[in-house]
Amino acid sequence: MQALIAVLAGDGIGPEVTDQAVRVLAAIAGRAGHSFGFEPALLGGAAIDATGEALPAATLDLCRRSDAILMGAVGGPRWSGPQATVRPEQGLLQLRKALGLFANLRPVTPHPAILHASPIKAELLHGVDIMVVRELTGGIYFGDKQRSATEAVDVCRYTVVEIERVVRLAATLAQGRRRKLTSVDKANVLETSRLWRAVVERILPGEFPGVGFEHMLVDAAAMHLIRRPRDFDVIVTENMFGDILTDEASMLAGSLGMLPSASLGASGRGGLYEPIHGSAPDIAGRGIANPYATILSGAMMLRYSLRLESEALAIEAAVSKAIVSGALPADIAPPGSAVSTRAAGDAVLAALQSP
């Protein structure tokens, strides 16, 4: 097949990790006889420096024409001071909204070979396989905002339609997994969460009778992710809760550098694929960033936007082989044994070429 992939490297370590993912995607395309075109564009701080905008019109146009989007990371202190009028993160939020990318999928599956990298006891990590589905275009991140010299206001707003579509997507995923859905909210305090809970209770029994579901308050979910992570299958939650909980869940896998994500709209085409980590400006340019989350995001791209399941599985298997071989970047390596960003990419490429 032919596919156009927009590459938004972004800021900080973004260009370093996306370079490795592009190498791997190009290799799998060559092996399977596909033709992938990779077209770069600016987003975030790099875009602000070049154009004054976090999401230039040319970038949005490319993303709308593309079959999928690969992104690195955006942001950094140089664009985030009190005098900043445009922030890099605004570009990403605008892109998600413009493309209707309402669901963010974040799988959490600790690799048996790097359980040492997690601060959680190894016996709690065996068999953990979680899919977090985060609503991505509503909630407090997109609500009305006001600020004066003496107060600030961020409005959290959800509509029934916004909740329905992400709950249905999460329940559909649960049907293909262990058929268990945990809906995370704060219904003891927030009216938006009470609406969220009511929608879940209406949709699940009628439309997904084979999927068991439970409600869980977000503070309890934060505790149980550490205490009993194996009990979770699919978690569905609103925007801010999902953002926070998946950063916590990354510690199950050992590092933010191990968690990929997919941001999807109604069709799947044109999805946005990115690691969940930030731009890490403190290590940018040093060649030590972990590219595995970005490479695995490329595998999710093949699965959800390009519908190339066997190729997605091949990349995931190659990353696993690279890890088992000892190609561990600094965030997951024992002291003194870390490999560079490019060496990790090389290990994945070598694994792809091996029988």
- Catalytic residue numbers read 141, 186, 219, 243, 247
Contact 308, 29 (CB under 8 A): no
Contact 132, 245 (CB under 8 A): yes
Q: Greatest CA span in the chain, whole angstroms?
A: 65
Cα 105 from Cα 98, distance rounded (Å): 18
Contact 49, 75 (CB under 8 A): no
Residue 148 neighbours by CB distance under 10 Å: 7
- Residue 25 φ then ψ, to 5°: -65, -40
Helix, strand, coil shares of the chain as percentages rounded to 5?
A: 50, 20, 35
Contact 259, 277 (CB under 8 A): yes
DSSP-derived pairing of the beta strands 271-275 and 68-73: parallel
Q: Which residues neighbour 61 within 8 Å (Cβ) at sequence distance 6 or greater? A: none
Tokens describing residue 170: 């999460």
Residue 355 neighbours by CB distance under 10 Å: 2
Cα 145 from Cα 142, distance rounded (Å): 8
Contact 294, 275 (CB under 8 A): yes
Our measurement of the distance from residue 61's CA atom to the centroid of its chain's CA atoms, rounded to an integer in Å, reads 22
Contact 288, 341 (CB under 8 A): yes
Q: Which residue has the tokens 């602000």?
A: 48
Three-state secondary structure call for residue 107: strand
The kind and range of the H/E element at 91 are: helix 88-99
